[in-house]
Amino acid sequence: MKETILKTAKNIAVIGLSPDESKPSHYVSKYLQEKGFVIYPVYPKFDEILGRRVYRSLEEIKDNIDTVVLFRKGEFASEIYESVLKKGIKNLWLQLGIINDEVALRAKKDGLNFVQNACIMVEHKALMS
């Protein structure tokens, strides 16, 4: 599943992308950007992070998103799940330490590629090595 996502993802909405460079959401997103992925920051404040326009919600993004990476608490995955489905997003990735087994079951039933409790940067580096 991880490999499938990493090999097919191009446009990644990062929910909880902090402007703080010391936060994992920031440096992981910067890494992904440097590797050629297009990042769409979703954050409640700021107009720009990592040189990209910041969106307040997934619904605001008009471009086609193929992957959502979540840097918020696991419960939030339940809140965004319907938006992920509505937008036709095929991949949902919950970062290291973020778990939502209810969404995992729903994603399996709905045919989504789903990963939880894993760092997309670590997994990408391992795949590329």
pTM: 0.96
Burial class (CB in 10 A: 0-12, 13-18, 19+), 95: buried
Contact 95, 28 (CB under 8 A): yes
Question: What residue has token string 């939880």?
Answer: 116
With 90 as the cut, is the pLDDT of residue 1 above it?
A: no
At 56-115, the pLDDT tens digits run 999 999 999 999 999 999 999 999 999 999 999 999 999 999 999 999 999 999 999 999
Instruction: Report residue 129's pLDDT band, with 50, 70 and 90 as the boundaries.
Output: confident
H or E element that contains 8: helix 2-8
pLDDT at residue number 21: 97
Mean pLDDT, residues 37-58: 96
Helix (H/G/I), strand (E/B), else coil: 102: helix
Domains and CATH numbers, the chain: 2-128 (3.40.50.720)
Helix (H/G/I), strand (E/B), else coil: 88: coil
Q: How many CB atoms lie within 10 A of CB 97?
A: 13
At 8-38, the pLDDT tens digits run 999 999 999 999 999 999 999 999 999 999 9
Burial class (CB in 10 A: 0-12, 13-18, 19+), 20: exposed
